[in-house]
């Protein structure tokens, strides 16, 4: 039995409650036993490790519900020139950057497999807690079909990572079963084309309503949630009508789609930071030619439509699509969420409490409350005063996951 004690900080617990000055967190092994004012805590008569927050701000470990730990830019030519093993070693560094940014849990939206998740759980490598999709489902010629017009197929292929292409109800059902067999904990489907695609555009709907319903139904046989990459309005509506749990990106949301999301109680993961970075790369000439037009065209449209969804009351969740953009800048998304109307506390909740609910893990993570896992970060600066400060990894002084300190840069 091991106790640790975080003190001398202001608590922002992720629930939306008012911050508490001079707060403490008492942790037994990896579980939070007490959270609140220090003067109400009875210190156990046992050896205890004290962690001084140095007057900083104590928050829950953040949750990124949409990223790709194993990729660095989705440059398709990498699969032709780089050995497969490099793919995994790059992932180790990406996981370190993610932790250093203050993100202790992720929903990997494609390419992290069961072996990567297991290596983290066994402590062989340091990484965030994972919920994995393994292989996102795509139609032939769709957003995750890497067959080029030249005749080359640029996909990654190895045992444990099923091919993601499927067409027709029977093929779709079989493919869902294959990715579940491979260890998927959430089923991801490409309901539209994408910005990164060589063969389609973001507006293009993909998968029929019948196919989407089969995906949701088959995932439900194991109690799994579903998520849909969806830019175009028609594809968003198809996914929501089929019962998808979360809509990723939502670029061309219209009023009808917004109302459908509200009625169905789905979540929206806008990934604002990726549209911002994609536009910047397009403007600076650091993006492949076939991506530039889409990246330039949709960034401003996306932001305006996400504003409308927020004002309508859609539940929004922090996700970044890191892996398409660089790793380690995850919490910059919080500042962008504030630009579309959120308050700093709402933005923080989108990356903690609401994110945990989206993943179905609200009983164990997302807020600093007794009985939950000890995932804690300490920010040097006050994110409620300057939300953009938390997007700088150097401002994240302590990162604790499951009761273990994985980053500590305090000046003691």
CA 92 and chain centroid, separation: 17
Residue 204 CA to residue 206 CA, distance in Å, equals 6
Q: Report residue 246: phi and psi, to 5°.
A: -145, 145
Q: Does the active-site annotation cover 364?
A: no
**CB of 65 closer than 8 Å to CB of 375:** no
Which residue of the set 117, 188, 213, 401 is catalytic? 188
Residue 29 CA to residue 373 CA, distance in Å, equals 9
Residue 267 CA to residue 359 CA, distance in Å, equals 10
E strand map for 29-128: 31-37, 48-52, 57-60, 62-67, 103-108
Beta bridge partners of 188: 227
What is the number of alpha carbons within 13 Å of residue 47 lying toward its C-beta? 3
Q: Does the active-site annotation cover 321?
A: yes
What is the number of alpha carbons within 13 Å of residue 152 lying toward its C-beta? 8
Instruction: Tell me the two tokens of residue 212.
Output: 């989407």
Which residue of the set 145, 200, 245, 321 is catalytic? 321
Burial class of residue 30, CB neighbours in 10 A (0-12, 13-18, 19+): middle
Residue 13 CA to residue 59 CA, distance in Å, equals 6
Cβ-based neighbour number of residue 155 at 10 Å: 16
Please state whether beta strands 186-190 and 225-230 pair in parallel, antiparallel, or not at all (unpaired): parallel
Point out the residues that are catalytic.
188, 321
């Amino acid at each position: 039995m091991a106790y640790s004690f975080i003190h001398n900080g202001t608590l922002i617990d992720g629930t939306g409650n008012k911050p508490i000055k001079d707060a403490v967190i008492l942790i037994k092994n990896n579980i939070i036993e007490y959270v609140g004012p220090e003067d109400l805590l009875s210190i156990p008569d046992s050896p205890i490790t004290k962690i001084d927050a140095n007057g900083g701000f104590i928050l829950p470990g953040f949750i990124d519900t949409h990223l790709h730990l194993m990729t660095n830019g989705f440059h398709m030519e990498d699969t032709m020139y780089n050995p497969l093993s490099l793919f995994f070693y790059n992932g180790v560094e990406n996981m370190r950057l993610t932790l250093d940014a203050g993100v202790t849990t992720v929903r990997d939206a494609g390419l992290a497999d069961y072996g990567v998740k297991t290596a983290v759980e066994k402590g062989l490598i340091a990484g965030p807690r994972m919920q994995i999709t393994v292989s996102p489902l795509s139609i032939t010629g769709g957003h995750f079909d890497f067959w080029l017009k030249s005749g080359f197929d640029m996909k990654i292929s190895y045992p444990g990572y099923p091919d993601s292409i499927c067409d027709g109800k029977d093929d779709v059902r079989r493919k869902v079963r294959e990715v579940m067999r491979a260890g998927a904990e959430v089923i991801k489907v490409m309901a539209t084309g994408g910005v990164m695609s060589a063969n389609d555009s973001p507006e293009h709907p993909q998968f029929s309503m019948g196919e989407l319903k089969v995906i949701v139904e088959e995932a439900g046989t194991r109690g799994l949630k579903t998520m849909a990459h969806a830019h175009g309005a028609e594809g968003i509506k198809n996914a929501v009508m089929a019962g998808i749990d979360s809509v990723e990106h939502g670029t061309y949301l219209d009023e009808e789609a917004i109302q459908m999301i509200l009625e169905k109680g789905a979540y929206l993961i806008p990934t604002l930071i990726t549209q911002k970075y994609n536009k910047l790369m397009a403007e600076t000439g650091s993006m492949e030619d076939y991506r530039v037009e889409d990246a330039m065209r949709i960034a401003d449209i996306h932001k305006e439509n996400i504003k409308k969804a927020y004002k309508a009351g859609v539940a929004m969740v922090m996700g970044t699509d890191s892996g398409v953009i660089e790793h380690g800048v995850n919490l910059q998304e919080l500042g962008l969420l504030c630009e579309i109307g959120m308050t700093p506390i709402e933005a923080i909740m989108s990356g903690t409490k609401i994110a945990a609910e989206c993943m179905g893990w609200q009983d164990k993570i997302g807020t600093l409350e007794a009985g939950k896992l000890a995932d804690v970060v300490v920010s040097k600066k006050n994110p409620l005063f300057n939300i953009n400060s938390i997007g700088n990894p150097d401002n994240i002084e302590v990162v604790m996951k499951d009761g273990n300190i994985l980053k500590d840069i305090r000046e003691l």
